Amino acid sequence: MHKRDIESAELVKGGILLTAKDGRTALLKFRDSERLRSASSEQRAAFRLSFGGLRWDEIDEDLSYDSIFEPQAHPLRGSAKFKSLNMSEVARRLGIQQSLMAAYMNGSKKPSAEREKLIREEIRKIGRELLEI
């Protein structure tokens, strides 16, 4: 699911109600995300629709539309080991600033060949760890 599939996203008590253009609805409960649970009301309200999900820049949180509409198909959401798996976590594991990783992701900066190799290797490592779960 992508941004173009979302009709609306509105704050409701305890979460965000998403409505897809096909009529489906899903409720993201703030309590389901450690970062959102700990965030202030103002921080929770400061989300934006990104290509593949919701983004909170101030608290560095991303949640995919798919994980909100189909949580049973996304077991990482409740995984203790990977409760906040996203590119920010990849950046943290590599010791790269999250803002730099975001610049790599959105294409405003290009990593060196060596850094790109390290990023790819870390993502593969995460994949191997996931297979062990």
Mean per-residue pLDDT of the chain: 85
| pLDDT for residue 106 | 80
Domains and CATH numbers, the chain: 1-73 (3.30.2020.40), 86-133 (no CATH)
Beta carbons of 51 and 105 less than 8 angstroms apart: no
| pLDDT for residue 16 | 95
pLDDT lower than 70: segments of the chain = 73-85, 133
Where are the alpha helices (H) located in 32-97, listed in sequence order?
34-38, 41-45, 65-69, 87-94
Question: What pTM, to 2 d.p., does this model score?
Answer: 0.57
Q: What six digits make up the tokens of 16?
A: 């965000």
| pLDDT for residue 85 | 65
Amino acid at 2: H
* b/e code 23-32 from CB counts within 10 Å (16+ = b): eeebebebeb
Amino acid at 33: S
